Structure 1
Amino acid sequence: MLIIGLTGSIATGKSTVSSILSSPPYNLPIIDADILARKVVEPGTPGYNAIVEYFGPTTPDLLLPAGPNDDPTAPRPLNRPALGRRVFGDSEERRRDRAVLNKIIHPAVRRETYKALLYHYLRGQWAVVLDVPLLFESGMDAICGMVIVVAVSDPAVQMARLRARDPHLSAEDAENRVRSQGDVREKVRKALYRNRSAEEGSDKGSRGVVIWNDGDKEDLHKEVDRAMAVIRRNSPSWWSWLLLLVPPLGLAAGVWNGIVNLWIQRSWAQKATREKAKI
């Protein structure tokens, strides 16, 4: 089964691409990390308890107020906007708090992700989409056979789309949210770097492709079709069926894919270190 990692940055159109891939003619199952992230911090879960323990004493509005019909003894859901204001931003304090939050959420999301991957593998799916905003940052690109980055060329377009989608955000809040998910142009470079067997900077290789969302929805559909043609060419469905029907071959292919991806991660890190040393 091919694991397609789908990532991007906020307001680049990743959710729209996910919706397109889950609809005909592709009908691919989607494992949405944002949905899983909500699941693992529902009241009563270990993730919820850890967040309340760490952030509660210094964030008075961390929990939503109880409604008139709510059980006053039941744990109250997290106030996500309040938690977002606490962790989004570039200050040292916010970066530290964001790291704490990620340390709580990411391991739990990984466990749920692996359960979902096993479920879809046993159902004989030829491919599954792993929708993760922080795919590279969390290291989950290591398990992906292909990575798709949804990007825009102009950061101003990204900011305008975010504020149009979420008008309650101030300019500062919008900028903080964009920065918290990293520069999408850096994600583009990482995705294309995975194509080490292809020409540097090409998205015609077997491990990384970019969907540019600078136009309208019709243009975006064309970009998705182009990206899927690349993926189909490099990972045909018959190969996925062969891996499913011959488990030892599937295991070997999975191990090899992981080794290659870890090598790519290490190579990228070394490249980034060299580039910083030149500055």
Structure 2
Amino acid sequence: MLFIGLTGSIATGKSTVSSILSSAPYSLPIIDADVLARKVVEPGTSGYHAIVKHFGPTTPDLLEAPSESMPEHGVDGKGRPLNRPALGRRVFGDGEERKRDRGVLNGIVHPAVRREIALDRLCGVVVVVAVRDPEVQMRRLTDRDAHLTPDDARNRVASQMDVRLKARRCEARGADRGVVVWNDGSRDELKANIDAAMAQVQRGSPGWWNVLLLLCPPLAVAAGAWNFWRNVRINKAWAAQELQEKAKL
């Protein structure tokens, strides 16, 4: 069985690509890291309580306001849901305080982050959804989240690794290990790019090989170990290259 790691950056189209891949003709099972990250901070969870404890005293609008549909203590008394725009304003930005707060938040949602790190090392192929034009990413973000100001949107984009750098890292894995799906155009263009990407993935992992792995569990374990070892080497090589490039500046 081939594990495909799907990643990208904010407002590049990961959810759209995930939806297409989970539908016919691909019908792939999807593990969405974004969904996992939301689940670990739902009302009643330990992550939710940790966020409320740390950010609540200094962020008055941290929770959604009470209403007829949302009681003071939330549904089933677990607490009102997080006001994500308010939390975003608290943690996204370039200042030292924002960076510290973002570090705290990342530490709280660390279980989901650990899953993403593990997948990065176990995946046979990594697919990055990217855009070439930064303005496309900004426009999609502000269209999607109308409550964001231009500064809010820029801060959220800047808080993540540049998606074009992610694409370069993906391509550095080799044609059989990393695939970039460019998503600057229409949905039809995106579907065509996905079809081309999946054809590339299938060439590197033919159906007979996947059947063989299912029929021979020891071989599947060995293949998984090989993937893990090779991905660790790829990541180390990229990190060394980044250091060399920084040294030239």
- Where does structure 1 lack aligned partners over 5 or more consecutive residues? 114-134, 196-204
Match of 2:199 in 1: 229
Instruction: Name 2:102's counterpart in structure 1.
Output: 98
- Determine the structure 2 residue equivalent to 1:219: 189
**What is the CA deviation profile of residues 166-218 of structure 1, one whole-angstrom value per residue up to 9, with x for unaligned ones?**
222111011111112221110011101111xxxxxxxxx11101111122111
Which amino acid letter does the alignment assign opposite residue 189 of structure 2?
D
Mapping of residues 203-218 of structure 1, within 5 Å: 205-218=175-188
1:88 aligns with 2:92: yes
Structure 1 vs Structure 2 CA RMSD: 1.8
User: Is the alpha carbon distance of 1:109 and 1:241 closer, same or farther for their aligned partners in structure 2, counting shifts above 3 Å?
Assistant: farther
Aligned pairs (5 A) from 1:174-189: 174-189=153-168
Which region of structure 1 is more displaced relative to structure 2, 50-59 or 208-217?
50-59
User: Counterpart of 2:45?
Assistant: 45
Code of the residue aligned with 1:87 in structure 2: it is V
Match of 1:254 among 195, 211, 224: 224
CA displacement at 1:62 relative to structure 2: 1.4
Residue deviations 1:45-65 (CA, integer Å, cap 9, x gap): 111122122222222221223
Contact 1:8 1:184 survives alignment (8 Å) = yes
In structure 1, the partner of 2:36 is 36
> Identity of paired residues, percent?
63
Tell me the residue number matched to 2:16. 16
**What is the alpha-carbon distance in structure 2 between the residues aligned to residue 139 and residue 176 of structure 1?**
27
- Does residue 143 in structure 1 map to residue 143 in structure 2? no
Task: Specify the code of the residue in structure 2 equivalent to 1:27.
Answer: S
Match for residue 120 of structure 1?
Answer: none
Deviates more, 1:91-100 or 1:259-268: 91-100
- TM superposition score normalised by structure 1: 0.82
In structure 1, give the amino acid aligned to 2:30. Answer: I
Q: Is the CA contact (8 Å cut-off) linking 2:142 and 2:148 kept in structure 1? A: yes
Is contact 2:85-2:147 (8 Å) kept? Answer: no
CA 79–206 in structure 1, closer or farther in 2 if over 3 Å, else same:
same
Report the TM-score when normalising by structure 2.
0.91
Aligned to 1:158: 137
Figure out how many residues of one structure are paired with residues of the other and give that number. Answer: 245
1:40–1:109 contact (8 Å) kept in structure 2? no
Which of 14-23 and 139-148 deviates more? 139-148
Q: Deviation per CA, 1:24-46, whole angstroms, max 9, x where unpaired?
A: 11001111111111111112211
Gaps of 5+ in 2: none
Letter in 2 for 1:256: W
Match of 1:271 in 2: 241
| Contact 1:62-1:78 within 8 A present in 2 as well | yes
| Distance across 2 between alignment mates of 1:188 and 1:53 | 37
